[in-house]
Structure 1
Amino acid sequence: MDINAELIIISKLIVSFLLGAFIGLDRERHGRDAGIRTYAAVCIGATLFTAITAHLVNNPSDTSRVIANIITGVGFLGAGIIYRNSGAGTSHGLTTAATVWCTSAVGVAVGLDMFIIAIIGACSLYFLLSLHHQKWYIRWKQKMIHKYGEEDCNN
């Protein structure tokens, strides 16, 4: 691999860091366990594995295998997040697990030069994570709970 290819991967890692940190920003602000460092690390890792594989191999099936293993690996990370937080018949950590998993997809998109898709994905994830702090969403959710009951609104 020549220096130009390495510089391209480094620039992808910087973009990946910024997008992952942006996604984790809301979680960090509100004192969640998974924050900027977790989301940025997942995004950077997915980008690094994807970009290196895409540059080193000529066989697209090798890249798709690496991406499939990223999906599986981060899925196991998410399962650990859910399991660690679950107890007494309740599940906690589902949103964190799901958004960490989706953040790996943002990293894969950066690794494959899909920057617009990565940016829109990161903005969508940030929006989803910030929803429960938005007054309009809180009012809407309370209205739905009052109308349908909490059990129906959480499923």
Structure 2
Amino acid sequence: MREWLSWLSVEYADQFEMMLRLCGAAIAGMTVGINRDIHNKPIGMRTLGLVALGAALVILSGSVYEGLHFGQDAVSRVVQGIMTGLGFLGAGAILRGRDQMQVQGLTTAATVWIAAGLGVTAGLGAWFITVTGTLVTLFLLTFGKRIEEVLIRLFGRSEEVDEDD
């Protein structure tokens, strides 16, 4: 039995590595999504988990033929395509009323984009970046509003709105 398991782990090491990367991406995206679900936002755990998983799938798809070692230029082009495409998906979450200057949904759109980034890092096997990025994202989503309010009270906010913005 031990010999069989040893053979299995050697024979399918690349597949186990890819499975770990895909699961890591999904978990990172879902972790960020839980915060969005808690705050009743339109994009939550399942969506962001799928976004991160999709980004990792795209990154890993090139590895099927070349092992787990990527060419820098190929990865760069894939990442650029992912991030551009996800920008459009995130844009769908941004709403602005006809008679309002207030825009809503920017944080939700940003979480879609960051979930894709976490998927890319997990797909590349950059575990420290994936974990750190997930923790920093959760910190910002959890405490960012309070920190922003404290800073606004501390430094004040100009009531004048520049028409060029």
Q: Is TM > 0.5 for Structure 1 vs Structure 2?
A: yes
Unaligned runs of 5+ in 1: none
Unaligned runs of 5+ in 2: 1-10
In terms of mean alpha carbon deviation, does 36-45 or 58-67 score higher? 58-67
- Partner of residue 124, structure 1: 136
User: TM-score, structure 1 length as denominator?
Assistant: 0.81
Cα deviation digits, residues 76-125 of structure 1 (max 9, x gap): 1111221xx22224311111111211221111111111100111111111
For the aligned residue pairs, the C-alpha RMSD in angstroms reads 2.5
In 1, the alpha carbon distance for the partners of 2:88 and 2:25 equals: 21
Cα deviation digits, residues 9-68 of structure 1 (max 9, x gap): 111111112111111111111211111011111111111111222443464422222111
Contact 1:17 1:41 in 2 (8 A): yes
Identify which of 62, 66, 70 aligns with 2:74: 62
- Partner of residue 40, structure 1: 49
Task: Figure out how many residues of one structure are paired with residues of the other and give that number.
Answer: 147
Residue 22 in structure 1 maps to residue 31 in structure 2? yes
Residue 72 in structure 1 maps to residue 81 in structure 2? no
Provide closer, same or farther for how the CA distance between residues 47 and 150 of structure 1 changes in structure 2, counting only shifts above 3 A. Answer: farther
Contact 1:22 1:122 in 2 (8 A): yes
Contact 2:26 2:50 in 1 (8 A): yes
Identity over aligned residues, as a percent?
31
- Partner of residue 103, structure 1: 115
Higher radius of gyration, 1 or 2: 2
User: TM-score, structure 2 length as denominator?
Assistant: 0.76
- Partner of residue 86, structure 1: 96
